[in-house]
Amino acid sequence: MIGRLRGILVHKQPPWLVVEVGGGVGYELEAPMSTFYDLPEPGREVTLFTHYAQKEDSVALYGFLRESERRLFRDLQKVSGVGAKISLAVLSGVSVEAFAQLVQAGDLAALTRIPGIGKKTAERMVVELRDRAADFGGGAGATAGRVGTDPASEALAALQQLGYKPTEAARMVRDATADGDDAAAIIRKALQAALR
């Protein structure tokens, strides 16, 4: 099992990134936006906590800057009906600490604003994770970096990958974009607005 990677960040475009660990070997990982917000520029060293998932027909590697994010990603998947896609959407839409507060407060309305989470799934999250929510705790990350192509297009693609319909994602990007914003800033503002 692969638990951690350290290497040079070669490529990042939400939700995918590639880390070269040496000898010409590069690992492709899927990561939540909470990790993308704090990634360095390509060409810089990065250390990621990883989660390796093997199914009958596929293998996937997920990367997280903070151990608390990986722990929540794993805990979420223990909830009936929650898989990797929803777990990534949770981490992309809300911080670990904010998610813990939503669960402890039983805020179903806010939880159902995260793509892929309906009322029944939100209820299961609250019931099954409430006792552990106080232990989710977060950690600090590196400084945020720019992603490198048209920020609005990149943000649009990332929101669609998170499960938003194209027209809804386009509206979210339009409402969240300000002059000088990189893709990470647009995505962060769009996701925060969606939770209000």
List Cα–Cα distances, 119 to 14, 21, 89, 90, 123, in angstroms.
Answer: 27, 42, 16, 14, 6
User: pLDDT grade, residue 137 (50/70/90)?
Assistant: low
What is the value of pTM for the model shown?
0.69
Which one, of 114, 80, 119, lies nearest residue 98 by Cα?
114
- 160: tokens are 């669609």
CATH architecture of the domain with range 151-194: Orthogonal Bundle (1.10)
- Report pLDDT digits (tens) over 41-97: 999 999 999 999 988 888 999 999 999 999 999 999 999 889 999 999 999 888 888
Which one, of 63, 61, 67, 72, lies nearest residue 39 by Cα?
63
Task: Answer yes or no: is pLDDT of 18 > 70.
Answer: yes
CATH architecture of the domain with range 68-135: Orthogonal Bundle (1.10)
CATH of 4-64, one of 3.20.20.70, 2.40.50.140, 1.10.10.60, 3.30.470.30: 2.40.50.140
